[in-house]
Amino acid sequence: MRGIETFSQLVSYDYDMGMYVLPNAAWMITDSPRFPHRGLMIDVGRHYQSIQSIKHIIDSLPYAKLNVLHIHMADSQSFPLQIISSPNLWKGAFSPNERYIQDDFKEVVEYAHYRGIRVMVEFDMPAHADAMCPGYPQICPSPTCTTPLNVANNGTFDLIEALLMEMTGGRPSTPGNPSPGLFKDNFIHLGGDEVDTSCWSNTPSIAAWLKEMGYTTDQAYGYFVDRVARIALAQGHRPVQWSEVFDHFQDKLAKGTIVHIWKPNTNVTEVVAYGYNVLINVGYVSDSWYLDNLDVTWDAVYGNEPCTGVPDSLCPMIYGGHGEMWGETVDVSDLQQKVWPKLGSIAERLWSPRTTTNLETAHPRIEYFRCLLNLRGVGAAPVNNKIAGQAPPNPGSCYAQKK
């Protein structure tokens, strides 16, 4: 499939001759990806994305040989997905019309599969989970202090266990024996980031539990993420957790955990030396792979090397990474032009050899790729704008993009 994509990008239509041509044939191409995990995250918890919009994004990913779609399914603002075991969870959706039934994502997973795309779902917890509280207030500390989720209530973990079982089917897919769960991928993202534990210490019942257990709030945070990770592992799936989980608990994380690094101060070498696999998308820096950092240009993104500072012997522990399209200010109206063409820089960095770093040769390549995306119906914005996603400033050819 990736080879056919390469071939399709070599072929062009000659309008004067009225035929398809293969310039400079014959070609001999030997190629393979440097990293096995090359993806995009979209955030449907901050703004609703229609199923058709998600399919359009899936259609575009193979053009850059990307193979993972990470769905950040819920956040503090919205829980849009139908959960049969906990039918009130989607009371936390923005509106009755901004919800997904499970058949929606069954269709998305199958649609992606036939395009060579894995779909990895994320349910961020114990923070970023406020939208679970309207349906199940008992799993939240109090009506006025809603997260982190209630670590002192076993019912919190019962709900999470049933939720994950429904998503994963309790076992990974194998050839000829697909998982009965909604999401077939072997990874399930459990979040774990940006946890402010003050709600726990300020809620009398949880404070009493902490005292009974002899836990500090940080130890209770470790208890929560470890218990949820072990639920995922018991169901045959590898938990993915954000940087903070490693930063707090180091080698105490459950073996099999994948650390998704977004914080610049997380020591990647230390993570892999402890035996944990890594996904990279460092944010809030000048070469961030956070696509919502609109002032970070394609060339800065292109220079973000996943194995910087990591010994060559440990670099294989890094599976790859994602461009992350956080959705606070993005919805169906502008998703494609905020993702593309900057995501192409990340895609090439994850596919190509480490030595492929020349910006002068990469620049015309990404400009041409943006025009190819446009020809294929993808709303990729101009390459050279200082702010990603802006429309062209003047009339002109796609092939003569100006700042």
Q: Domain spans of the chain? A: 34-361
pLDDT band at 171 (very low <50, low <70, confident <90, very high): confident
* pLDDT of 402: 64
What band does 366 get if pLDDT is binned at 50, 70 and 90? very high
pLDDT tens per residue, range 46-83: 999 999 999 999 999 999 999 999 999 999 999 999 99
Q: Which of 64, 114, 65 is nearest to 380 (CA)?
A: 64
Q: Of 128, 137, 27, which Cα lies nearest the Cα of 86?
A: 137
Per-residue pLDDT, averaged over 287-301, amounts to 95
Q: What's the whole-number mean pLDDT along residues 149-156? A: 98
Q: What is the pLDDT of residue 200?
A: 98
Q: Which CATH superfamily is domain 34-361 in?
A: Glycosidases (3.20.20.80)
Burial 205-228 (b: 16+ CB within 10 A, else e): ebeebbeeeebebeebbbebbbbb
Count of C-beta atoms within a 10 Å radius of residue 365: 13
State the pLDDT at residue 177.
79
Is 79 exposed, middle or buried (CB count within 10 Å of its CB: 0-12, 13-18, 19+)? buried
Higher per-residue pLDDT: 172 or 101: 101
Residue 231 predicted with pLDDT over 80:
yes
Question: What does the pLDDT average to over 372-399?
Answer: 93
Average pLDDT over residues 164-173: 86
Residues tagged active-site: 194
Give the pLDDT mean for 77-101: 97
**284 has a pLDDT exceeding 90:** no
pLDDT score of 403:
59
pLDDT value of residue 295: 94
Number of H helices, E strands in the chain: 13, 10
For residue range 174-212, list pLDDT tens digits in order. 777 777 899 989 999 999 999 999 999 999 999 999 999
What pLDDT, on a 0 to 100 scale, did the predictor assign at position 282?
87
Average pLDDT, the chain: 95
Residue 268, pLDDT > 80, answer yes
- pLDDT band, residue 283 (cuts 50/70/90): confident
